[in-house]
Structure 1
Amino acid sequence: MVDVTELQRQHIEKITKEKKLITIKECSTLTGIGERKLRELVHVSGFPCIRFGKKCMIVSSLIDEWLINHIGETF
């Protein structure tokens, strides 16, 4: 039997090491935050994202730091 959580952890590690920018869906998998809430967060000042027209990409190396700096806040 395959340990799915270990495969998911390895996939998340691979994403964050190889990709500088991740999609909202990938960020949702990485953080456990729902895609709908992430779509709201990209409008919060200082959230680590870059817009390319309508497409919004999140800077994977900065997401952990942003989350740590906003512990205890409500969005």
Structure 2
Amino acid sequence: MVDVTELQKQHIEKITREKKLITIKECSQLTGIGERKLRELAHTKGFPVIRFGKKCMVVGSLIDEWIINHIGETF
């Protein structure tokens, strides 16, 4: 039997290594934060997001740092 969780983890790691910017959906899979909450966070000051019109792209290399810097906060 194939471990789908491990395959998903490997896929996400590959995405973050190869891509500088990730979608909200990919960020949700990576962090476990829901897409709706990530879209809300994308409007907060300091969240590592770049906007291209209505499209939001998250800077994958900065998301871990942002999470660590906001431990204990409520959003």
Same-fold status (TM-score > 0.5): yes
Q: Deviations over 1:6-56 (max 9, x none)?
A: 101100110110010000000000000000000100001000000001111
Q: Which residue of 1 is the match for residue 69 of structure 2?
A: 69
Q: Please give the alpha-carbon distance, in whole angstroms, between the structure 2 residues aligned to 1:2 and 1:18.
A: 24
Alpha-carbon distance between aligned partners in 2 of 1:55 and 1:5, rounded to the nearest angstrom = 28
Question: How high is the sequence identity, in percent, across the aligned residues?
Answer: 87
1:28 maps to 2:33 = no
Alignment partners' CA distance in 1, 2:12 and 2:40: 22
Secondary structure in 1 aligned to 2:56?
A: strand
Q: Which blocks of at least 5 consecutive residues in structure 1 are unaligned? A: none
Structure 2: segments with no counterpart, 5+ residues: none
In 2, Cα distance between equivalents of 1:31 and 1:50: 18
- Asked if 1:16 corresponds to 2:16, the answer is yes
Matched residue pairs, number?
75
Paired AA for residue 25 in structure 1: K
Q: CA RMSD in A?
A: 0.4
Length-normalised TM-score, structure 1? 0.98
* TM-score of the pair, normalised by structure 2: 0.98
